[in-house]
Amino acid sequence: MFDAGQCGASRLPINLHPILICRGACVSHLHHSTTQSVDFDRELIARYDGKGPRYTSYPTADRFVPGFGATDHAHALSSVAQGDAAKPLSLYFHIPFCDTVCYYCACNKVITKDRAQADRYLDRLVREIHLQADSLPFRAQVWQLHLGGGTPTFLSDDQFVRLMDAVASRFDLLDGGEFSIEVDPRKVSEETVLLLAGLGFNRMSVGIQDFSAEVQKAVNRVQSEAETRRVIDAARSSNFRSISVDLIYGLPRQSVESVRETIGQVLRIRPDRIALYNYAHLPERFMPQRRINAAELPASEAKLDILQNSIEQIVDAGYVFIGMDHFALPDDELAEAQRRGELHRNFQGYSTHADCDLLALGVSAISKVGTVYCQNVKTLEDYYAKIDSGQLATDRGIALNQDDELRRSVIQKLMCQFELDFCRIGMEFSLNFREYFALELALLEQHARDGLVAIDEEGIRVLPKGRLLIRSVAMVFDRYLREQAPVGRFSRLI
């Protein structure tokens, strides 16, 4: 599945050189939109809809190589900038356990009702906290923290306290930071929500997927609107600053009418953020999906109808289209970060801080430290063995070369801001953008003719028709896709 070929500086000759960059000061005439409109063009979507990465990283995780191990990871951690150059960190903890299986799920998870498994896992997670902290050159401050899974609310109240005590023993959690957790409303009480607030959590991501009883039965996730509201109301009463909900379109037994009703229920709850994910049916890769009756999945045309109606419904309710599958209220920090040009993407999706190194802990978790990506081993057995031997759990990774760093910046700007300033990129990387990316700009000419992007002497703007197809635009700048591998293992763009 993974490309274990050459990577890094030895892969390709790199020519980043200061030629014809900009004359005088770099003054941009590109403007960030106060709102990001989106134009649903059925003909263009049908023409461009293929498969491709979601660009939570560049290079994408399939390019990580197994020769990159614990020693490389420790060296990256030891090289984190100190003193005036030091920046706050992000922490991510992967909690893989669920006590029931949702048939659509493609996450790295362990299905069990044995709560003692969480204690055994926390034993190693606490040790990994110390191993990663020991590799840093100083006691770091943390601006962002996120618990994902699996189902983080599989943990008991005592286990949450134990985990956060371990974090606080080695890191300084900053006042005003963003500390979030993914919540299954079926598995958490109001008392636990209050405890989480007391531990510092101030953001919550709530899984809904669909409120239709028929859809819920088909995917083995029965969850009422009442219990969902109960948890969200508890979070608001506990002064959580942001509530996000996750929905999925393309599930079995969905129709335009049923999804419209679900979104109407969600809009009455009025979360700060809404994520509307495309269900990718890949039963050959994800065993739980084999329990889904493929004959009950909406046809491709019906799925597009669902998406178009859902976008219109959400935007008409006053939400801003952030990008790909995310929407936010205009005063939400994601929308504000996008207007400031500071929006970022990482392995948890869109983020408000582009300058944080990400330390990820737990089975299969992926870290970004400087110009290095590192991924932990993917099974509990391997994770326990690594940690018990006193070493980081790193399984594979990649060190970026200059071309990777450049293309990562280009793709980030397109995915997050819907625009790219040639002069600013040229100044940042000491190059002439139009010369360095002559091939890519030529490839983008068809996108421009189709009204997806506008290209002029100053830069690239993604137009409303191109915003749903932003992955297609970003893929043009992915050198790996063009030169080394097919895209068959990725999800569909729409």
pLDDT digits (tens, 9 = 90+) for 233-281: 999 999 999 999 999 999 999 999 999 999 999 999 999 999 999 998 9
d(CA 494, CA 483): 24
Annotated binding site for [4Fe-4S] cluster: 98, 102, 105
Sheet containing 372-376, strands listed edge to edge, beginning at the edge strand earlier in sequence = 320-323, 326-328, 273-278, 242-249, 203-209, 172-183, 141-149, 89-95, 357-361, 366-369, 372-376, 394-399
Question: Do 253 and 214 meet the contact criterion of CB atoms below 8 Å apart?
Answer: yes
Within the chain, how many helices (H) and strands (E) appear?
18, 19
- pLDDT at residue 352, as a whole number: 84
**Backbone dihedral angles phi then psi of residue 91, each to the nearest 5 degrees:** -120, 135
Question: Do 379 and 38 meet the contact criterion of CB atoms below 8 Å apart?
Answer: no
- Domains defined along the chain, listed by start: 8-59+401-483 (1.10.10.920), 63-399 (3.80.30.20)
Question: Do 306 and 256 meet the contact criterion of CB atoms below 8 Å apart?
Answer: yes
| Token digits of residue 195 | 């405890």
- pLDDT at residue 86, as a whole number: 79
- pLDDT at residue 33, as a whole number: 45
Annotated binding site: 92, 98, 102, 104-106, 149-151, 182, 209, 221, 246, 280, 366
Per DSSP, 387 falls in state: H
- Angle (deg, nearest 10), helices 116-135 and 157-170: 10
- pLDDT at residue 26, as a whole number: 59
Across 250-376, the runs of DSSP E, i.e. the strands, are 273-278, 320-323, 326-328, 344-346, 349-351, 357-361, 366-369, 372-376
Full pLDDT tens readout for the chain, 494 residues: 323 332 333 333 344 444 444 544 555 545 444 346 889 999 999 899 888 899 999 999 999 999 899 999 999 999 998 776 778 899 999 999 999 999 999 888 999 999 999 999 999 999 999 999 999 999 999 999 999 999 999 999 999 999 999 999 999 999 999 999 999 999 899 999 999 999 999 999 999 999 999 999 999 999 999 999 999 999 999 999 999 999 999 999 999 999 999 999 999 999 999 999 999 898 988 999 999 999 999 998 999 999 999 999 999 999 999 988 999 999 999 999 999 888 888 887 888 876 689 999 999 999 999 999 999 999 999 999 999 999 999 999 999 999 999 999 999 999 999 999 999 999 999 999 999 999 999 999 999 999 999 999 999 999 999 999 999 999 999 999 988 866 457 877 87
How does strand 326-328 pair with strand 141-149? unpaired
Task: Provide the b/e sequence for 113-132 (b: ≥16 CB within 10 Å).
Answer: eeeeebeebbebbbbbbebb
d(CA 488, CA 490): 6
| Token digits of residue 458 | 């100053």
Question: Do 446 and 391 meet the contact criterion of CB atoms below 8 Å apart?
Answer: no
d(CA 284, CA 472): 25
Question: Do 14 and 401 meet the contact criterion of CB atoms below 8 Å apart?
Answer: yes
d(CA 494, CA 470): 10
d(CA 385, CA 395): 12
- pLDDT at residue 23, as a whole number: 45
pLDDT digits (tens, 9 = 90+) for 179-229: 999 999 998 999 999 999 999 999 999 999 999 999 999 999 999 999 999
Annotated binding site for S-adenosyl-L-methionine: 92, 104-106, 149-151, 182, 209, 221, 246, 280, 366
**Cα torsion angle, 244, 240, 152, 156, sign:** negative
- Angle (deg, nearest 10), helices 190-198 and 225-237: 30
